[in-house]
Amino acid sequence: MSRSATAPLPAPARATAVGTLLTAALAGCMVLTGCVAKTPEIPKAPATASTSTTPSVDYPIAIQRFGGVAGFSDTVNIDVDRSVIAKVNRQTLSCTLDEASFSAITKAALAVGDSGNDSTPTMARPDDMLVLLNAVPTTDDRIKDVEPVVTSLLEDLAKPKAKRTVCR
């Protein structure tokens, strides 16, 4: 025997060693061979995709009117399908809002978002009337254009059903 050579393994021992390596390789590539499972690629978003979100309205949109000399205490809830459930003059009623009014009120609700949740509107005098859209006064600069639409809706809801034109 030479000094640098090691004694060869007998054939049965070599077969056992090769079998052990193959079994380990098949059982998860955990051998000294260093096999690595290819990790799946994670799909990437298209380069043209926008990361900004489009603002949306949380329905129902709530309109409240209270105060005034007459002592109003009215509530109107408008849902995404234009259906309205209202309590006006101590009567509960339901109807469907016309397209133009719905569009204007939805645009105003979009403009204020949920900013009204953090505010507490107050009246300067006890007989002031306050009209709110999602807890924001309709006199707010962001939604002042919708004030006539809301007023028309509230007036319309006070009429008998046969005479309503905005919400039927």
- Percent of the chain scoring above 70 in pLDDT: 61
Q: Alpha-carbon distance 106 to 39, whole Å?
A: 48
Helix (H/G/I), strand (E/B), else coil: 144: helix
99's CB contacts (< 8 A; 6+ apart) are 82
pTM of the model: 0.64
pLDDT in tens, 128-138: 888 999 999 99
- The domains of the chain are located at 10-39, 61-163
pLDDT in tens, 88-122: 988 999 999 999 999 999 999 999 886 655 566 66
Q: Alpha-carbon distance 34 to 139, whole Å?
A: 72
Mean pLDDT of 1-11: 54
CA–CA–CA angle 68, 70, 74 (5° rounding): 75
Q: Alpha-carbon distance 64 to 75, whole Å?
A: 5
Tell me: pLDDT of 14 over 60. Answer: no
Q: Which of 22-31, 32-41, 101-110 has the lowest mean pLDDT?
A: 22-31
**Model pLDDT, residue 22:** 47
Tell me: pLDDT of 70 over 70. Answer: yes
**Model pLDDT, residue 31:** 46
Residue 26: which pLDDT band, with cuts at 50, 70 and 90?
A: very low
